[in-house]
Amino acid sequence: MTNRKPKTENRKPRILLTGPPRCGKTTVVQKVIALFAGKAAGFYTREVREKGERVGFEIVTLDGQVAWLSHVSFPGPHRVGKYGVNLENLHRVGLPALEVTPGIDLVVVDEIGKMECLSPHFVEALERVWTAAVPLLLTVAEKGGGYIQRVKEEPDKILITVTPSNRDELPERILQLLGIG
């Protein structure tokens, strides 16, 4: 992260979920959101399949907006593997969902990954959210350098690896860490 000083007063939990693709990170996040009694803001990413093949990912905000983040057919300069990445949609839909306004009790970001980190604006938004006096529930790619690695090295966080054997118990554990369970 940047050279900011961690705030210890009013510090709320920073919970990071990591693990390999398809281990259940997004499912855990969705279950926490469903059980969370307060007001949450942010977004999650949803994989999109056609005829059994993954073709891309959508951004889904917690207030119901949906936009393509990536697709195999997207052209352009921003690519991760076989996917073209639409940073305009990330900026238009995802970033406004990360604004911490009065009454927000939790900010969710699923995920801090290679696609999202192509955007300096996304990284800046995460820096602002990290210093806000609101709990965070974030997913972060298991592999990756740069900002992905820096987030996982933050001293002021709880890093949990999601596995098929622990993913069903994690929503309740996370709610307890947030002071709700």
pTM tops 0.85: yes
Of 106, 94, 170, 166, the closest CA to residue 138 belongs to 106
Q: How far is CA 150 from CA 112, 114, 160, in A?
A: 11, 13, 16
Average pLDDT over residues 166-179: 95
pLDDT in tens, 130-160: 999 999 999 999 999 999 999 999 988 999 9
> Which residues are CB-contacts of 12 (< 8 A; sequence separation ≥ 6)?
133, 134, 135, 136
Topology of domain 14-44+95-177 in CATH is Rossmann fold (3.40.50)
Straight-line distance from the first to the last Cα atom of the chain, in angstroms, rounded to the nearest whole number: 30
Structural domain boundaries of the chain? 14-44+95-177
Beta strands 79-80 and 66-71 are unpaired
pLDDT in tens, 53-102: 999 999 999 999 999 999 999 998 999 999 999 999 999 999 999 999 99
Q: Is the pLDDT of residue 16 over 90?
A: yes
